[in-house]
């Protein structure tokens, strides 16, 4: 009986840890961002490489952009296409946005 209880508690702890550490790459795909942003080639949107270059060392600014609190710096002329996507990112938690920003900057 004691063993079963321990296993149950451990299982819960592991599940909670998994939910806390947001996976930036998985979020980027599940939120539909990958439809317009490829790793290294520009498609509808600029490549992740280009975004990473523009925001190098500025993860905070990138999170601000995703919250709709900062102006675009990569390709402002095409911001009209990106703007509606901010409705998705604005609804995400700070942890999720941070994880996604880290994923983008890793390119
Ligand atoms: C319908 C196509 C499309 C989708 C979907 C899309 N984007 Fe974009 N994105 C663009 C375009 C076009 C630009 C270039 C305009 C600009 O720089 O704001 C852009 C620019 C960006 C930039 C650079 C911002 C800057 O400073 O210029 C970031 C960061 C970004 N997208 C993140 C995301 C994330 C995260 C998602 C998913 C929630 C996403 N995009 C979904 C088309 C898209």
Span 23-33, pLDDT tens digits: 999 999 999 99
Q: From the CB of residue 28, how many other CB atoms can be counted at a distance below 10 Å? A: 17
List, in order of start, the domains of the chain with CATH numbers: 23-105 (1.10.760.10)
State the distance from the centre of ligand 1 to the C-alpha of 16, rounded, in angstroms.
Answer: 31
17 vs 21, residue with greater confidence: 21
Instruction: State the Cα–Cα distance between residues 83 and 78, nearest whole angstrom.
Output: 9
Q: Report CA(100)–ligand 1 centroid distance (Å).
A: 12
Query: 73 CB under 6 A from ligand 1?
Result: yes
Give residue 20 CA to ligand 1 midpoint distance, Å: 25
Q: Convert the pLDDT of each residue in 47-86 to its tens digit.
A: 999 999 999 999 999 999 999 999 999 999 999 999 999 9
Distant-in-sequence contacts of 81-85, Cβ < 8 A, 24+ apart: 81/36, 81/44, 81/45, 82/45, 85/32, 85/33, 85/36
pLDDT value, residue 14: 47
Strand segments (E) across 1-107: none
Q: Tokens representing 94?
A: 């700070």
In the prediction, which pLDDT does 23 show? 97
Residue nearest to atom 17 of ligand 1 (CA): 75
107 is in an annotated binding site: no
């Amino acid at each position: 009986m004691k063993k079963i209880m321990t296993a149950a508690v451990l299982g819960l702890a592991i599940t909670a840890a998994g939910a806390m550490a947001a996976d930036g790459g998985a979020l980027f795909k599940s939120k539909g961002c990958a439809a317009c942003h490829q790793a290294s080639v520009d498609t509808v949107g600029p490549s992740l490489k280009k975004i990473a270059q523009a925001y190098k060392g500025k993860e905070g600014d990138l999170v601000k952009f995703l919250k709709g609190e900062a102006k675009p710096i990569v390709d402002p002329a095409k911001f009209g296409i990106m703007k509606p996507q901010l409705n998705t990112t604005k609804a995400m938690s700070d942890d999720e946005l941070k994880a996604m920003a880290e994923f983008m900057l890793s390119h």
